Amino acid sequence: MKILVLGSTGFLGSNLIKKLIKEEKYQVDGSSSEKCDLTDLQSVRKLLSESKPDIIFNLAAYVGNVHFGINNAGDVVSNNLLMVLNLYKAIQLEGIVPLVISPLANCSYPTAVSIQIENEWWEGMPDDSALAYATSRRTEYVIAKSYFMQYNIKSSHVLMPGIYGPGDHLEEERVHALDGIIMRMLQADKNSDSKFEVWGTGKPIREWLYIDDAVDLLIRVISNKNDLLYPVNLAQKKGYSVGEIAKIVAEVIQYKGVIFFNDSYIDGAMVKVMDNVKFKNVFGDYKFTDIHHGIKESVNYYRNSLIKEPV
C-alpha cells in the first residue's frame, strides 16, 4: 500500500512518517512545500502522477498561533483553501482513487458550544480569533463531500484538539500553545526570572492530544470500517485551563517564580472540550497518554533542543 503524506516536515507529518516507516507495512512518501507547491494545481498533479498513492494524509496547512492567524487572516484562508481545492481537483484529473485522510482543528467548532459534539459542528460561527483557519477547515469537509458526490473520491475526517509533545516547532509564532508555554518557561527558569507571564486570563479550557496518540489514531483510520466522511472527534472529553497547564509545567520544570496572567492578550474561545461518545463507538476504549507524562516528555525534548541541559 502506497501512502503519501502531505505536510511531511511539520510536527504531525514528520511524526506520522516515522511511525508508518517503523511499522514496515507501507510504502511511504512525504511531500513538503519545497517538493510540491500545493497552491499550484500543476505541481499537485505532477506529484500525484508520480506517486500514485492509495492513501493520502492531508496534513499540509498554513497556520500558526492565534496571533499569527489574526495578523495573516487573508493569507491563511486563501492558502489553505487553494491547497485543498487543488488536491481534490488533481485527484479527479489524474484519475486515481486514493482515500484522503484529513485532520481538522477543533477551533472550527462554534464559539458558543462548551462541549463540542459532532452534530453541532455547523450550529454557529467559530471564534473570531480563529475565523480564517477554522472556516478553511469546515470548507475542506464541504469540498471533500462534493468530490465524493460527483467523482466518488473517498475521504475520512477527524476533528483534533491542540496537539503537543516532542518534535513540535521551535519558533514561538508557530509552536502549539502548550509547547509554547514549555519553551518560554524553560527560558524563564534558565534566566532565573522571578515572574512568568501567561498570555490571557489563564481561564480558557482546552483539550490536549499527545503527539504519539494523534499519530496512532490517524493510522487506525486507514483500516477503520466506519464512514468517516463526516468527521469524528479524537476526544478524551477532558480539558484543562491554561492556568492549570502552566502550573503542571512549572511543577515538571521545578520553576520557582510567580505565574501571572496578562489579560491584555485575547483568550479566544473560553471552552474547547470535545464529546467522546462517537469516538468510543469508532475507536473503542482507547488509552490516551496522561497529561503529566506527556508534558514531562515535551519538557525533556525542549530542554535538549533549546536549553542544552542534560536530562
Instruction: Report whether CATH 3.40.50.720 matches the domain 2-163+208-233.
Output: yes
The three grid cell numbers given for residue 50, joined into one nine-digit string: 508520480
pLDDT in tens, 18-36: 999 999 899 999 988 788 9
What pLDDT score was predicted for residue 311?
Answer: 44
- 69 or 151, higher pLDDT: 151
pLDDT in tens, 227-251: 999 999 999 999 999 999 999 999 9
* pTM of this structure: 0.93
* Average pLDDT along the chain: 93
Give the confidence band of 308 by pLDDT, cuts at 50, 70, 90: low
Q: What are the structural domain ranges in the chain?
A: 2-163+208-233, 167-206+239-270+290-307
Decide if 2-163+208-233 and 167-206+239-270+290-307 have a common fold.
no
Window from 46-60, 105-119, 139-153, 169-183 with minimum mean pLDDT: 169-183
Domain 167-206+239-270+290-307, CATH:
3.90.25.10
Q: How far is CA 74 from CA 39, 68, 109, 120, in A?
A: 14, 11, 20, 26
Mean pLDDT of 254-264: 95
On the question of pLDDT at 295 being above 60, the answer is: yes
Percent of the chain past pLDDT 90, that is, above it, reads 83
Mean pLDDT of 177-192: 93
pLDDT in tens, 80-91: 999 999 999 999
pLDDT in tens, 34-59: 889 999 999 999 999 999 999 999 99
Q: How far is CA 287 from CA 74, 189, 210, 231, 253, in A?
A: 39, 33, 11, 20, 26
Task: Determine the 3-state secondary structure of 162 from DSSP.
Answer: strand
Mean pLDDT of 62-87: 91
What pLDDT score was predicted for residue 131?
Answer: 95
Residue 220: its H or E element: helix 211-223
What pLDDT score was predicted for residue 67?
Answer: 78
DSSP string across 92-124? HHHT--PEEEEEEEGGGS-TT-SEE-GGGTTSS
Mean pLDDT of 287-291: 97
What pLDDT score was predicted for residue 307?
Answer: 64
What pLDDT score was predicted for residue 310?
Answer: 46
Asked if residue 91 lies in contact with residue 100, where contact means CB atoms within 8 angstroms, the answer is yes
What pLDDT score was predicted for residue 165?
Answer: 94
Distance between CA atoms of residues 156 and 150, nearest Å: 16
